[in-house]
Amino acid sequence: MTVTVFSGRGLTKTYRSGEVEVHALRGADIDLYEGEIAVLLGPSGSGKSTLLNILGGLDRATTGTVRFRDHDLTNASERELTQYRREHVGFVFQFYNLIPSLTARENVALVTEISSNPMDPEKALGLVGLAHRLDHFPSQLSGGEQQRVAIARAIAKRPDVLLCDEPTGALDSKIGVLVLEALDHVNQTLGTTTAIITHNAAIQSMAHRVFNFGDGRIISTHANETRQNPSEINW
Amino acid sequence: MKRLWAQSLAVALVMAAGVATMLIGLGAYYSLSETRTAYYDRTQFADVFAFAVRAPKSTAAEIRQINGVAQVETRIVKAALLDIEGFELPATGYFISLPASGENTLNRLHLRSGRLPGPGSLREVAVSESFAQAHGLQIGSTLDAVLNGAKRRLTITAVVLSAEFIYALGPGDMMPDDRRFGIIWMREPALAGAFDLEGAYNSVTLRLLKNAVMEDVFQSLDNILERYGGEGAYGREDQLSHAFLDAELQQLSAMSRILPPVFLIVTAFLINMVLARLISLEREQVGLLKAIGYRPTEIAVHYAKLVLLISCMGIGIGFAAGTWLSHGLTVLYTKFFHFPYQIFVASPKLYVVAAFVSFAAALFGSMRAVAGAAALSPAIAMQPPAPPSYKRFWSGRLQPLKHLSQLTIMVLRHILRWPVRSMLTTLGISLAIALLVSSLFSVGAINYMIDVTFDRTDRQDASFAFGEARPAQALQDIARLPGVLVAEPYYNAVAKLSNGHHAKRVAILGKPEAMDLSRVLDLELKPVALPASGLVLSEALAKKLHIERGDTVHAEFLGGNRIEADIPVVDIIQSYVGLMAFMDMKALNRLLRQGPRISGVNMLLDPAQSDAFFAAVREQPALSALALQRVSLAKFQETIAENIHIQIAVYCGLATIIAFGVVYNSARIQFAERARELASLRVLGFTEYEVSRLLLLEFALLTLAAVPVGWLAGYGLAFALVQGFQSDLYRLPFIMLRSTYAYSALIVMVAVALSALIVRRRVTSLDLVSVLKTRD
Ligand SMILES: Nc1ncnc2c1ncn2[C@@H]1O[C@H](COP(=O)(O)OP(=O)(O)OP(=O)(O)O)[C@@H](O)[C@H]1O
Ligand SMILES: [Mg+2]
């Protein structure tokens, strides 16, 4: 049985800068199911990040509705969105956005301190294979390591969803695979619903379902019959 | 440039404070001293003054022969009580003779209106302008004076100013009270007749040649006047009006040495901070410019333009504020200092100097950052700066740290990551606190001085001074006046006290054994009994003479029998006003080999009978001056209260400008540098409140660290000011109230909080999505 975690209907987003209007989303409909890994593919500027930010409560749609389980995010206040992010969402970005003044462990602890049912920072870092790098500062870590700290930080609070915007974008393929493995591992052990934006078509093979973007809409969706292990992915 | 305007303005304001304080402090200093000099020259203000009891006019020729003397003028100077219609209190008039005809040669009057009294006129007078204004007296108005016991109606023919009375302080007063003290000039025959001084004088003033030796002139003059009750010659520095102006000048120069530098140092620091930040933001552009062939000097000039812009703003605002405040000061000065012409506080030259010095400070502050920009190599400049690396503060996992939240750890690491900036921010805030401490403390100090002087030392309501010392029985006449509850006599004798080459001319005050009104307090402010023989000196006088308790001081009494004696100093006591020397009255009279004599009487009055008292006073022939200590105190407090509020407002403003300049700028820079971090926290689900707290906590900690530093610096600054303000006339006690510390810290904390809160508002408008899209 599939449980719908997110459902977005008729989402549009219009940016207005002076005279110019940019339609980043032109009526996107999307459902994400519990426990799945969804990969969002599409050309640059097609609105992937915009959609993900709306789902994650960082941004608001111009029109349309978004529901997360029983929360209606459509008309949520800033305060409610903050609370929503705090309780339910984990983010991973292309640029890791770690806090430079905190060690790996402390970056994770930052989140566990404010969540109700967190795992140990050490355990979260262990899940992404960084048990040996607990006391390093971001400036002392490689890009891949930093990204895995970011994943550990995102999952340590046991979020309902993990939203990743080009998590491997700044990494080469070997390191990128390590990051994907970490995401897959988390999905399997914790069952966290995961959405991954990527430019890299090769990555779609690890997904349960794949969404194809084009011009502010989702043009097509398909489910993978067989999923590939991230370690088999190569680009 | 546009996004920097608020920060630039904050820096410019600090600079403006430096410019303005420089304009006001130095401006007032120079204009006051230059105006005084010009006034002195134009009116032939004397260099030397001396009083005698009664010297024949023939001695004037002798005085003229003294080496170094250029001009001599003899005159009659007497105090007398005045009776002015519609004014319930008796006023004291200071009568000075004009030559029988024509003008004085020395200490010439500046005629405001009317004409000098007619030659030989017995009833026509010229009066000082401030006194005339206080009573609405005009040409043709009349007033009554009791001249040597005889009442005389006088007619005003002139309203005048005199360089001898730029600052006109009545006998026994702490603050000029124009209603109760007037200077009145009469033709010499009129005064000579009234005071039985025909063919004689009791005051002589000299103007000296450039090469004259003061001490020698004093000596020769004293020798001549010795036989005629000479009280010792003195120079301008002991002339009351001149000395008060000197004290004011001394204060101004102390202020100008302290305030502008503080502001300019902070300006330099802020400019360095803002520029360094701007350059690190623009390193890519700088690299690009250098790559396409711009020379380092051209890059430097580009940033120097920003410095120029800030400086222009600062100097412009400083000029405006300085001019406006100078005008306020001019108004204040004209209230206390009577000059014939307007005092223009700041001269054009000073504006140029202030602008130049401030600009130099700004350039100095910008040097390091601009040089750094010019030296950036194009290749390095094009790469993003290396990510800041942090360290754990102390290697071990210290137990207390376990209890800190990660947010707090972030704050602490950030402070330690930029130690110089944190320290300078702390220092800036502490300077604001120090400034307030050094200004607010004077409120407590003045109140303390008033308490010591009026409530514990001189507790009389009023005191009389006789024109000349009288036998002790005169006390009974005073005690019998209606409304006099207690009457206590005193006797004073002018003497030159010396210890080796340290010498000072003072009045030795003889007090009765059972003194209760006007007392002498020791250094712990406990009343002391005067010893049966020997002197008691105030701390300030003892310091001046380099004398300690138990030493002997040489005294030459001026006037009377010209006794000389070595007198032991039995005790050193506290006094914030004047240079005081006390002796038991009987002992003093014995030392001078004369019967019991008194110079005046201190009194406690029954307020219910004050009308009767004042009426009786007007009929007393022997009384020449009446001091009303309680009235004077009220006047003093009223004046202080008026000025202190202005002073506090100005200093609070200045401290706020510093606190704002420092905190707003470093908060803006912090915010810009940490926008990504703060946005990340918001993405992670931290609330606006939590994220702002991160920012504010840092400033709270820095402010907390600044408080003790500021208190300490303020203590030092106040101490320096107290030293700088010391004069023979008065001293401010160095009293630091706890409330001074508390208020100073509180005011600055509020200013810091407000500045940080302005920046905090930006947390709300933080655009999470776009910040995270970009690479560092
Ligand atoms: N703040 C903004 N103001 C104006 N236009 C914007 C803004 N953010 C995004 N856009 C525009 O919206 C459109 C969709 O942007 P979005 O970032 O969602 O694309 P994307 O699919 O994530 O592209 P990429 O793969 O390059 O990241 C783009 O045309 C972009 O220029
Ligand atoms: Mg994108």
**ipTM score for this prediction:** 0.91
Residue of B nearest to A153 (CA): B684
Q: What are the angstrom distances between the C-alpha of B57 and each of B199, B203, B233?
A: 6, 11, 17
Tell me which residue of B269, B345, B263 sits closest to B16, measured CA to CA. Answer: B263
Closest C-alpha to ligand 1, atom 25: A44
The residue of chain A nearest to residue B403, with distances taken between CA atoms, is A113
- CA pair distance B484, B614, nearest whole angstrom: 11
The token pair that represents B101 in the structure block: 């005809």
Burial class from Cβ neighbours inside 10 Å (0-12, 13-18, 19+) for residue B775 reads exposed
What's the B669 CA to ligand 2 centre distance in angstroms? 29
List the residue whose alpha carbon is closest to atom 13 of ligand 1: A24
Among A59, A68, A81, A82, the strongest candidate for a mutation testing the B interface, having the largest count of B CBs within 10 A, is: A82
β-strand pairing of B48-56 with B181-187: unpaired
pLDDT of residue B619: 75
Strands B48-56 and B502-511 come out as unpaired
Instruction: Please check the confidence at residue A230 and state whether its pLDDT lies above 90.
Output: no
Which protein residue has the closest C-alpha to ligand 1 atom 18?
A: A47
Question: Hey, are the CB atoms on B685 and A102 less than 8 Å from each other?
Answer: no
Residue B768: which of A58, A79, A103 has the nearest Cβ?
Answer: A58
Token digits for A13?
């987003």
Which of the residues in chain B have pLDDT under 50?
A: 395-397
Which ligand sits closest to the CA of A43? 1
Lowest mean pLDDT among A88-97, A199-208, B194-203, B558-567: B558-567
**B595: contact with A, CB 8 A cutoff:** no
User: Looking at residue A78, what is its pLDDT?
Assistant: 87
Closest CA to ligand 1's atom 29 = A45
Distance B528 CA to ligand 2 centre (A): 89
Residues of B in contact with A59 (CB under 8 A): 768-769
The residue in chain B having the minimum alpha-carbon distance to the alpha carbon of residue A109 is B406
The verdict on B618 touching A (C-beta cutoff 8 Å) is no
> Minimum-distance ligand to the CA of B770?
1
A109 phi and psi angles, rounded to 5 deg: -60, -30
Note whether B599 and B571 are within 8 A (CB): no
DSSP H or E segment with residue B509? strand B502-511
> What is the Å distance from ligand 1's center to B768 Cα?
14
Using a CB-CB distance cutoff of 8 angstroms, which residues of chain A are in contact with residue B775?
95
* Token representation of residue A207: 């997904």
Distance of alpha carbon B687 from alpha carbon B760, whole angstroms: 13
**What domains does chain A contain, in order, with CATH numbers?**
4-232 (3.40.50.300)
Whether A24 lines ligand 1, by a CB cut-off of 6 Å, is: yes
CA of A171 to the centre of ligand 2 (A): 16
| Mean pLDDT along residues A55-77 | 90
Adjacent-strand bridge partners of A91: A163
Please name the residue that has the structure tokens 């990555």.
A203
pLDDT of the residue at B396 = 44
CB A121 less than 6 A from any atom of ligand 1: no
Nearest CA of chain B to the CA of A46: how many Å?
Answer: 15
Residue nearest ligand 1's atom 9 by CA: A24
Tell me which chain B residues have a C-beta less than 8 angstroms from the C-beta of A111.
Answer: 684-685
Q: Which helix (H) or strand (E) holds B64?
A: helix B59-64
Pairwise CA distance, residues B14 & B19, whole Å: 9
- Chain A contact residues (CB < 8 Å to B): 49, 53, 58-59, 78-79, 82-83, 85-87, 89, 91, 93, 95, 97-103, 106-107, 109-111, 113-114, 135, 137-140, 153
Tell me the average pLDDT of chain A.
Answer: 89
Q: Are A102 and B407 an interchain contact pair (Cβ–Cβ within 8 Å)?
A: no
Mark yes or no for CB contact B387/A93 under 8 Å: no
Closest-CA residue, ligand 1 atom 5, reads A15
Q: Which residues of A touch B386 (CB under 8 A)?
A: 139
pLDDT on residue B775: 60
Q: In whole angstroms, what is the distance from residue A90 CA to residue B600 CA? A: 92
Asked if B617 and B81 touch (Cβ cutoff 8 Å), the reply is yes
Q: Which ligand is nearest to the CA of A46?
A: 1
Measured CA to CA, the distance from residue B664 to residue B10 in angstroms comes to 7
Q: If you take atom 22 of ligand 1, which residue's CA is the nearest one?
A: A49
| Assigned token pair, B417 | 């990551």
Measure the CA–CA gap between A130 and A107, rounded to whole angstroms.
13
Minimum CA distance residue for ligand 1 atom 2: A15
| Distance to chain B for A77, nearest Cα, Å | 12
Q: Give me the pLDDT at residue B511, please.
A: 92
- DSSP element (H, E) containing B768: helix B768-773
Q: What pLDDT sits at residue B472?
A: 87
Output the residue whose Cα is nearest ligand 1's atom 24: A44
A106: helix, strand or coil: helix
Residue type, B26: L
Do the chains contact at A97 and B680, CB–CB below 8 Å?
yes
- pLDDT tens readout for residues A5-21: 889 999 999 988 878 88
User: Is B676 touching A (CB cutoff 8 A)?
Assistant: yes
| The pLDDT value given to residue B695 | 84
In angstroms, rounded to a whole number, what is the distance separating the alpha carbons of residues B145 and B82? 4
Task: Report DSSP letters for B154-199, one per residue.
Answer: EEEEEEEEEGGGSS---TT-SS--TTTEEEEEEEHHHHHHHTT-TT
Q: Which pLDDT score, from 0 to 100, does residue B774 have?
A: 66
- Asked whether A48 lines ligand 1 (CB < 6 A), one says yes
Q: What confidence score (pLDDT) does residue A174 get? A: 82
Question: CB–CB of B686 and A113 under 8 A?
Answer: no
CB within 8 Å of chain A, chain B residues 380-419: 386-392, 405-407, 409-410, 413-414, 417
Residues of A in Cβ contact (< 8 Å) with B389: 100, 137, 139-140
Residue B174 and residue B629 in contact, taking contact as beta carbons nearer than 8 Å: no
What residues 417-476 of chain B have any CB closer than 8 A to a CB of chain A?
417
Please give the interface size between A and B, counted as residue pairs whose CB atoms are below 8 Å apart.
88
| DSSP letter, residue B106 | S
A53 lines ligand 1 (CB under 6 A): no
The CA A165 to ligand 2 mean position distance, Å, reads 7
- Output b/e per residue, A39-76; b: 16+ Cβ within 10 A: bbbbeeebbbbbbbbbbbbbbebeebebbbeebebbeb
Task: State the pLDDT at residue B395.
Answer: 43
Is there an atom of ligand 1 within 6 Å of A22 CB?
Answer: yes
B154, B125 Cβ separation under 8 angstroms? yes
Alpha-carbon distances of A106 from A14, A102, B65, B388, B395, rounded to whole Å: 38, 5, 94, 17, 15
Q: Which helix (H) or strand (E) holds B715?
A: helix B688-725
Question: What is the model's pLDDT at position B189?
Answer: 94
CA atoms of B621 and B618, how far apart (whole Å): 8
Average pLDDT over residues A83-94: 90
Which chain A positions have a beta carbon within 8 Å of B774's beta carbon? 95
Q: Among residues B704, B645, B694, B635, which one has the least CA distance to residue B670?
A: B694
Residues of B in contact with A153 (CB under 8 A): 684
Coil, helix or strand for B93? Answer: strand
* Phi-psi group of A158: left, alpha or beta (phi > 0 → left; psi -120 to 50 → alpha; rest → beta): left
Map tokens 């702002």 to a residue.
B692
Distance CA B511, CA A116 (A): 83
